[in-house]
Amino acid sequence: MAGSFCLTDRGNAANEDFVQAAGSYGIVIDGASDLAGDPLFAGRFATNAQWLARSVGAATCAALDAGARVEEALAGAVSLAREELEAAAGAPLAEMDPLAVPSATLALAVVGEDAVELYGLGDSPMVALMRDGSLVVSTDDVLEGLDARAVALMSERDPGLALTGPERRRLVDDVVRAHRLLRNTVGGYWSLDPTGAALEHLRRLSLPREAVASVAGMSDGFWRAFASSGPAAFGVADPATELACLTPGRARDILARLRGFEAADPDLRRFPRLKRSDDASLFWLDLHKTGRA
């Protein structure tokens, strides 16, 4: 589709993101790195989070391409993932260690005849650039707040020694695990996982099509290039300026600058964060050039 594209870049040992821009939609699914359990799909996927993101992403896209509604596409994809996970684990989902059940964030934009619908779970932001120059950002403030608390505690617990980045991260392993157990609970946060529990809590924002110039969805690993506050905010580029006329080349330039900042701060001190680098994925849809549904 002219004027629209997607890209992904590995920031960890394995890229656990899924991204696609096709026709009148774009999707990012960012798998959450496993905290427990062994890979159940060795030979096909490096981690269970990678399996979840890519299997649910591919099935969702196939359903959308066939004309399914968003809710139907996601529910069907998650149901298939649950069946596959339970078969691989040899146990019902309810009996599995919650920390071993993979999860992911979701950012999905669908361009319709009269509206642009934004759907989300977790902290993979979606950003709509409006024709008046303003930005509309949809993300999960709860999950971002939990990450910010973990990052703050990492600094508080630092004994003042010359610790490496991984050593500093281990100071808050207990906090990260406790936060993960808040997934899909009342008072916690909602995240895509094989239970499907979060699907009735999808964030949904409807914007008038004629008011939107472009829309981007990204994993938090790419958003850190744009963010100017919060955990892992590098402020490499201004989103309002870039999203007006983004190109694959410009997106890769932004990513290269981000990777340079990350590499120059391996101890996580100048830019406090939980990971030195993170998988970075982005889709961008130009509403001037997308065809009507």
Give the orientation angle of helix 48-65 with respect to helix 70-89, to 10 degrees: 140
Mean pLDDT value across residues 4-9:
96
Give the orientation angle of helix 173-180 with respect to helix 141-157, to 10 degrees: 160
Q: How far apart are the C-alpha atoms of 231 and 6, rounded to whole Å?
A: 24
Domains observed in the chain: 5-286 (3.60.40.10)
Q: Largest alpha-carbon pair distance within the chain?
A: 58
Q: How far apart are the C-alpha atoms of 173 and 83, rounded to whole Å?
A: 30
Quick one: pLDDT band at residue 293, thresholds 50, 70, 90?
very low
Q: 59-100, pLDDT tens digit by residue?
A: 999 999 999 999 999 999 999 999 999 999 999 999 999 999
Measure Cα distances from 230 to 143, 158, 174 in Å. 12, 19, 21
Q: Which among 205, 218, 21, 201 is positioned nearest to 117, based on CA atoms? A: 205
Q: How far apart are the C-alpha atoms of 121 and 191, rounded to whole Å?
A: 5
Residue 3 is predicted with a pLDDT of: 75
Q: 155-211, pLDDT tens digit by residue?
A: 999 998 899 999 999 999 999 999 999 999 999 999 999 999 999 999 999 999 999
Q: 200-213, pLDDT tens digit by residue?
A: 999 999 999 999 99
Q: How far apart are the C-alpha atoms of 10 and 18, rounded to whole Å?
A: 11
Mean pLDDT value across residues 211-226:
96
> In this structure, what DSSP letter does residue 189 have?
B
Mean pLDDT of the chain: 93
Residue 102 is predicted with a pLDDT of: 96
pLDDT at 292 exceeding the cut of 80: no
Residue 290 is predicted with a pLDDT of: 54
Measure Cα distances from 175 to 75, 140, 152, 216 in Å. 31, 19, 11, 31
Under 8 Å CB-to-CB from 247, ≥6 apart: which residues? 5
Range of lowest pLDDT (24-38, 93-107, 147-161, 230-244): 230-244
Question: Within the chain, where are the H helices?
Answer: 48-65, 70-89, 141-157, 165-170, 173-180, 220-226, 239-242, 248-263
pLDDT at 291 exceeding the cut of 60: no
Burial class (CB in 10 A: 0-12, 13-18, 19+), 210: exposed
Decide: 198 and 140 in contact? Cβ < 8 Å.
no
Measure Cα distances from 130 to 64, 127, 133, 196 in Å. 25, 10, 5, 32
Tell me the HSE value of 241 on the side-chain side, using a 13 A CA sphere: 7
Mean pLDDT value across residues 279-285:
97
b (16+ CB within 10 A) / e for 93-113: beebebeebbbbbbbbbbbee
